[in-house]
Amino acid sequence: MHYVSYGTPGGEYAPEHRAATVTAVNDDGTVDLFVMNPSGVFFNRGVVIDDETKAPGTCHWPEYVPGG
């Protein structure tokens, strides 16, 4: 999965896609993630899967790149 970080309120850092592993699938359709950053790792529970808008604070399946 890709987790989309929030970035900073002032815009110094934009939201970024981070590598994540699903650790649980919840009854409400959300997932629990193990998220990997360049500066460390963290767990995030109850994350909404958003393959359409890919909004900050959500996750989505990685984009397919033909020939990549």
3-state SS assignment for residue 61: coil
Domain presence at residue 44: yes
The range of the structural domain enclosing residue 16 comes to: 2-60
Would you say residue 2 has pLDDT above 70? yes
Domain presence at residue 65: no
Domain presence at residue 30: yes
Q: What is the pLDDT of residues 4-23, one digit of tens each?
A: 999 999 989 999 999 999 99
Domain presence at residue 66: no
The total of structural domains in the chain comes to 1
Domain presence at residue 51: yes
Would you say residue 68 has pLDDT above 70? no
Domain presence at residue 68: no
Q: What is the pLDDT of residues 36-63, one digit of tens each?
A: 999 999 999 999 999 999 999 999 999 8
The pTM (predicted TM-score) of the whole model is 0.86
Q: How far is CA 22 from the centre of its chain?
A: 10
Amino acid found at 19: A
Domain presence at residue 67: no
Q: 45-52: long-range contacts at Cβ-Cβ below 8 A with a sequence spacing of 24 or more?
A: 47/3, 49/1, 50/4
